[in-house]
Amino acid sequence: MKTGINGIELIKKYEGFMSKPYSCPAGVPTIGYGATYYPNGNVVKLSDEPISKEYASELLADMLGSYERAVNRYVTSDITQNQFDALVSFAYNLGNGALKSSTLLKKVNANPCDENITYQFSRWVKAGGKKLEGLVRRRKEEAELYFS
């Protein structure tokens, strides 16, 4: 599967667009819509030049491939497009390793309709050890997309 428009819009909404590099709440240099590296594999540095919205969308599309492959590889149950999109958004924000080791993934694989999945999304709301309201809202919206 590939990320649909609902997933892309959710990621863009919560990542936000920043033309100039910045440190995300976890302290990682980031640019565009949450990009931490470029297609050539170089990591984003705070000294990098600003980018356009168009290039940021290209970076997002390029980065999505890694997260789509992970969701396709790790999810063993049949899921809908919205469920896939929600899981890609989760992995894009937290990393493929977090998805792979999560109870969320275990619940999805055991029963993709398990109501406890909403709770599993809600557990991932901290960055740098601090609970962030933006992550609370993002996880809530990911869970809503997952069950829509």
Residues identified as active-site:
15
> By CB neighbour count within 10 A (0-12 exposed, 13-18 middle, 19+ buried), where does 106 fall?
exposed
HSE (side-chain half, CA atoms, 13 Å) at 5: 0
Q: 88-97 b/e with 16+ CB inside 10 Å = b?
A: bbbbbbbebe
As to burial, measured by CB atoms within 10 angstroms (0-12 exposed, 13-18 middle, 19+ buried), residue 83 is buried
Two tokens, residue 134: 């933006």
Rounded CA Rg of the chain:
15
Count of alpha carbons within 13 Å of 38, Cβ hemisphere only? 11
